[in-house]
Amino acid sequence: MSTPVIALSLALLISVIFGLRLWGRVRETESLLRSLARGEEPGPRAWSFSPELAALLEDSVRQEESARRLESQSAFNLQAVLSSMSEGVMVTDADQSVRVVNDAFRKLFDLTFDPVGGSVISSLRETVVEELVRQTFAEGQQLLREITIQSPGDSATKYLEVSAMPLTTDGQITGAVFVFHDITQIRQLETLRRDFVSNVSHELRTPLSIFHGYVENLLEDPVMPKAERREIYEIMAKHSRRLNALLEDLLTLARLESRRLEFEPVAIDIEGFLEEFTRDWRPRLSEQGLAFRVDCEPGMPPLVADALRLEQVLTNLLSNAEKFTSAGGEIVLRARPVDQLMELSVRDDGPGIPSQDLPHIFERFYRVEKARGREKGGTGLGLSIVKHIVALHGGTVDARSQLGRGTTIVVGFPLRPFISPASD
């Protein structure tokens, strides 16, 4: 064989060998890259073909893994912060679509689905929120607004204070963050305070006006006949007692609401307690032509409660029944154990309470028959005091009534050991 042919054959053989080795390295590189893409850790032999490429790939893997851990940690931190917030948070993008919300936000708007990805109006169906979003993007500055929404569950009004902050990148608004703070309870308390001040002022105005008028009469006519003076004194004494009762009830209610009243729970034998309690009530009701009956089964379990406050509850209930029961009517005081409660009820056969008034009778100063209640010397706080005392014992209150057929007020005290709030 000639020398040129041999040289050509050797060159071809070397090319084939080199090509096969190169093809093998390419296949090894492809296999290695696929392993890395699947997140697998390649063995030490996988890097033997090229230390330089191995160094580059190792550096790339480390950077990718570091970025993945940083992203995961950032997402975890963001989710942890949002989940721990009591305020609702919503983040929108430049298209004003919802990008991020937290659990408090979903609860605040009663959302049963994930609103992320949808528009504000389609997700919340609250035009006032959409208008606030548009205004934030239009003005490009932080906004603080108070809005109201209707709760879908019970149609109750919610008052929300919203802080809106646009997000900018290179001077362009790329999104916005909205923080919703529920201030419904604050607004309700403000309303209660205003109503309370108004009611107290109204209750005080009448007796004070009467005092003022009669004092002027006495000053202008110092020689007024004795009989007339006595009548004036009796009227003033009556309204003085009413004022004193009002102030006492106001103080009691204030102490109950602030939990500053000391409770002394003891084991009470209900049968003996009611017998002693009603001893003074029987002649008092009899004088007014009212029949009075106590329905109490013997052998009932003892009730752990504050005896003084229990007496106050029953006094208020019987006083109410007395006011609204005409001569010839009957009042029944009943005690019975029901499940885990000791139920005490007072029933009268008075005019009854309209259904629209029934849910409100335990509110402060609420009267069904305002003129009659004042005429009988009521303060409008009796049932509210009852509700607070029973609540502090962990019990329940209820009212049942039919027009023309009387009213029954039921209070339930737990048949279990009671811990005084004063010892908390």
Instruction: Round the average pLDDT of the chain to a whole number and report it.
Output: 79
Partnered with residue 316 across adjacent β-strands are none
Categorize the per-residue pLDDT at 11 as very low, low, confident or very high, splitting at 50, 70 and 90: low
Per residue in 35-55, pLDDT (tens digit) is: 655 555 555 554 455 555 555
Tell which wins on pLDDT, 127 or 196. Answer: 127
Per residue in 345-395, pLDDT (tens digit) is: 999 988 888 888 888 888 887 777 654 545 555 678 889 889 999 998 889
Residue 371: predicted pLDDT: 47
Cα distance between residue 69 and residue 55, in whole Å: 21
Cα distance between residue 192 and residue 189, in whole Å: 5
CA torsion sign, 314 to 317 to 323 to 325? negative
**What average pLDDT does range 309-337 have in this prediction?**
91
Per residue in 217-227, pLDDT (tens digit) is: 888 888 888 88
For the cut 90, the answer to whether the pLDDT of residue 163 exceeds it is yes
Residue 336: predicted pLDDT: 92
Per residue in 235-265, pLDDT (tens digit) is: 888 888 888 878 888 888 888 877 777 778 8
Per residue in 49-95, pLDDT (tens digit) is: 555 555 555 666 666 666 566 555 554 455 656 667 888 899 999 88
Cα dihedral 308→313→318→321 (10° resolution): 170
Tell which wins on pLDDT, 12 or 325. Answer: 325
Cα distance between residue 72 and residue 327, in whole Å: 79
One-letter identity of residue 20: L
Where residue 5 falls (left for φ over 0; alpha for ψ -120 to 50; beta otherwise) is alpha
* Least confident residue range of 199-213, 275-289, 401-415: 199-213
Q: Residue 85 burial (CB < 10 Å; 0-12/13-18/19+)?
A: middle
Using a cut of 0.85, tell me whether the model's pTM lies above it.
no
Cα distance between residue 373 and residue 351, in whole Å: 13
Categorize the per-residue pLDDT at 330 as very low, low, confident or very high, splitting at 50, 70 and 90: very high
- DSSP letter assigned to residue 261: S
Report the DSSP pairing between strands 143-150 and 157-169. antiparallel
| Contact (Cβ atoms closer than 8 angstroms) between residue 371 and residue 238 | no
Residue 263: predicted pLDDT: 79
**Residue 413 host element (H or E):** strand 406-414
Distances (CA, A) of 399 to 154, 156, 412: 22, 23, 12
